Amino acid sequence: MANRASKAQTEVAFTSSIPNSFPPEQQALFREVLASFEESGRPYAVAGAFALQKHTGIFRSTKDLDIFLPAESASGALGDLKRKGFHCEVCDPVWLAKVHRDGYFVDLITGMSNGVITVDDTWIEGAQPANILGVRTQILAAEELMASKLFVTRRERFDGADIAHVIYALQGKLDWGRVLALAGEHWELVLWNLILFRYVYPAQTKYIPESVWKDLLRRVAEQDRVPSQTAKFRGSLVDDAMFAIDVEEWGLENILADSQRRAKKIEETAKSHTRP
């Protein structure tokens, strides 16, 4: 068994119930960005480590604050923050912009990097009140938080443990219909995570309703009875690096590129890359 202090393990942020400690400059950045959203009334919700803590009690070391918002709201939010003296940049118009100051940053996220799951107004409407670093704000509901982690499945980062912890902490008291609606045609990833939960917490399998198991396993059985010979390869949606050979050498279709093309994009604000 690998040593817990091995190089690979030291790169992982360990879970703990011990509260995080943020440098004053980082706290100030987080507070000011949250205050800007509250003042503007633009739709948003906090996700990432802060939302995970609120739902599960787990504190995890984090370098950033994740703010989820619809793509059509991102440009205006970046404009607000640029006028307040922050350096703003669109890193990937499919899903990510960053707000910087003093070496610290906030991520503005509009969906998954593969373009499959995108944030819309319903994500914000379902958000829950929270207090983060003294600012009255809101966090993603547990169902949206789970959906935001379904495709975080890369070799260097896997959020399946977060999903398992959300289910465990809430004792399965979730709107499972909402979870499956958010996953849509990618419901197998929900099933995958539920099987992981079942393996990790064998004494808590009742946290997942029997109706959910029946629904998902029925879908599997129906697909297996009449397997599609034209179903598209989806490995690149999971990890375009680990499945690169399938596209680049084996000639399978790259639906990742198609998905990213279809996704709503974050629009650049004028001179958004200019430092104040």
Q: What tens digit of pLDDT does each residue of 208-237 get?
A: 999 999 999 999 999 999 888 899 999 999
The confidence score (pLDDT) of residue 273 equals: 42
The confidence score (pLDDT) of residue 12 equals: 57
The confidence score (pLDDT) of residue 227 equals: 85
In the structure encoding, which two tokens stand for residue 258, read together?
A: 């198609």
Planar angle of CA 116, 113, 170, nearest 5 degrees: 75
Angle between helices 160-169 and 48-56 (to 10 degrees): 30
The confidence score (pLDDT) of residue 219 equals: 97
Residue range 1-140, CATH number: 3.30.460.40
Please tell me whether the overall predicted TM-score, pTM, comes out greater than 0.75 for this model: yes
In the structure encoding, which two tokens stand for residue 54, read together?
A: 């609120």
Domain ranges of the chain: 1-140, 146-227, 232-262
Residue 134's SS3 state is: coil
The confidence score (pLDDT) of residue 269 equals: 59
Low-confidence ranges of the chain (pLDDT < 70): 1-13, 269-276
The confidence score (pLDDT) of residue 63 equals: 80
Bridge pairing between strands 104-109 and 64-68: parallel
Q: What is the DSSP string of 204-236?
A: GGGGS-HHHHHHHHHHHHHHHHS--SSPPP-HH
The confidence score (pLDDT) of residue 11 equals: 54
